[in-house]
Amino acid sequence: MMSEQDATLRARVQARLAETPDLLAAPSRFERRVRVREAVARMLADDGLAMPPREIARLVHEIADQVVGLGPLEPLLRDPAATEIMVLPSGRVYVERDGCIEDAGIAIQDARTVMHAIERIVAPLGLRIDESMPWVDARLPDGSRVHAIIPPLSVGGPALTIRRFAVQAITAADLIERGAWTGEICEMLAACVRARANIVVSGGTGAGKTTLLNVLSSFIPAGERIVTIEDAAELRLQQPHVVALQSRPPNVEGRGMVTIRDLVRNALRMRPDRIVVGEVRGGEALDMLQAMNSGHEGSMSTVHANSSADLLARVEALVLMSASPLTVQAARRQIGAGLDLIVHVARSESGRRIVEVAEVRARGDELIVEPLARREGGTLRATGIVPRALSGVGERWS
């Protein structure tokens, strides 16, 4: 809890900083932070404060966080283990680490502090949040996704959610170590990627879909041309021939929006070997399926769904939302011809895990999923069925 003396001192120092706007004119955030810390240290020294050096250092650090960064949230943003930061309308803060949500031990007493953090995020992006537009989706410079919603929609105060962008990309070996999959299933899926199977990763919010998509994308051979399409650039492909596209929200006048569907259509004109879409959630599902059915095999994406079987109904609904005059039977034929594998992930108390790998098969006008691997008793086990994409490459999928 901040003492009254600390609060008064901070307010006085920040008022003096506001009189020297050139401090914040440095081109990089790091330089701005260094300048602010040096200026605060000088101000405190000039005041001749009778405080222990450690307390002065803490105060300098916290004021720099407030002036340059996101205030009390900065320590969590510097924590590499924090994957999600959640500020409640009450000011209480929670953090997710290793798939588990815990109290961050921080309480933001003043709603203005949260609003200050939100405005610091959205202002450089040309976005706004106010009573006429009481929510916003944005991202931090490192790619972390941000959602904010304020009163009157958020009762009691503003709510802020930050989904962190991983500093270091997670690898296939990391997923094995965490128990998300086994070495055998990793080999099978890597072989399916190399064999150009079309793969969709399904799961709920925060289940680890994008993380898994990033790992699966790492198995694409280096010589192929890949076009990635995302709302916020989270994929970190290591291949040399990658074109990364990113959608754009409308500006404050409501203009200039570029959707995922716009980018999928553009990608088809860019001679891609594969298209990787961060998330399909609208009419772009039809464009993606048409790409998979017309020479862009081996493409991948993610879709929100509660199970492998539920994903088929979800994709069918998205295709029918595309404003194309397709019948249900025609939509299912597109899905059956274009989609090969579903990898379903879920979040539990033990972390994010693959719970099923399934193959999409057609029976007349119906689509079914054939499990290739299932999690039973906490362990992911292969069912013994060989994916059709690997039917000619041998038992070890080499």
Q: What is the pLDDT of residues 237-292, one digit of tens each?
A: 889 999 999 888 777 677 888 999 999 999 999 999 999 999 998 889 998 898 88
Per the document, the length of the chain is 398
What phi and psi, each to the nearest 5 degrees, are found at residue 304? Answer: -70, 125
* Strand order from edge to edge, sheet including 100-107: 100-107, 92-97, 82-87, 159-163, 145-149, 135-139
Q: Which residue type is seen at 135?
A: W
Q: Which residue type is seen at 147?
A: H
C-alpha to C-alpha distance for 172 and 53, rounded to whole angstroms: 46
C-alpha to C-alpha distance for 332 and 327, rounded to whole angstroms: 9
pLDDT for position 60: 66
Please state which CATH class domain 172-390 belongs to: alpha beta
- Listed in order, strand segments (DSSP E) in the chain are 82-87, 92-97, 100-107, 135-139, 145-149, 159-163, 199-203, 226-230, 242-246, 274-277, 300-304, 341-348, 351-363, 366-376, 379-382
Q: What is the pLDDT of residues 46-63, one digit of tens each?
A: 666 656 667 666 666 666
Residue 3 has pLDDT above 60, yes or no: no
Q: Which residue type is seen at 271?
A: R
CATH of 71-168, one of 3.30.450.370, 3.30.1330.30, 3.30.70.20, 3.40.50.300: 3.30.450.370
pTM (2 decimals)?
A: 0.77
pLDDT for position 290: 87
| Percent of the chain predicted with pLDDT > 90 | 44
Q: Which residue type is seen at 352?
A: R
Residue 25 has pLDDT above 60, yes or no: no
pLDDT for position 398: 45
pLDDT for position 198: 96
Please give the C-alpha separations between residue 24 and each of 31, 46, 64, 68, 119, in angstroms, as whole numbers: 9, 21, 11, 8, 16
Pairing mode, strands 92-97 and 100-107: antiparallel
Least confident of 135-149, 192-206, 375-389: 135-149
pLDDT for position 1: 44
Contact 209, 230 (CB under 8 A): no
The rounded mean pLDDT for the chain is: 84
C-alpha to C-alpha distance for 381 and 390, rounded to whole angstroms: 18
pLDDT for position 263: 93
Residue 24 has pLDDT above 60, yes or no: no
Q: What is the pLDDT of residues 90-121, one digit of tens each?
A: 999 999 987 788 999 988 888 888 998 898 88
Kindly give, in sequence order, each residue whose CB lies less than 8 Å from that of residue 171, ignoring residues fewer than 6 positions away: 215, 218
DSSP string, 101-159: EEEEEEE---HHHHHHHHHHHHGGGT---BTTB-EEEEE-TT--EEEEE-TTTSTTS-E
Contact 335, 312 (CB under 8 A): yes
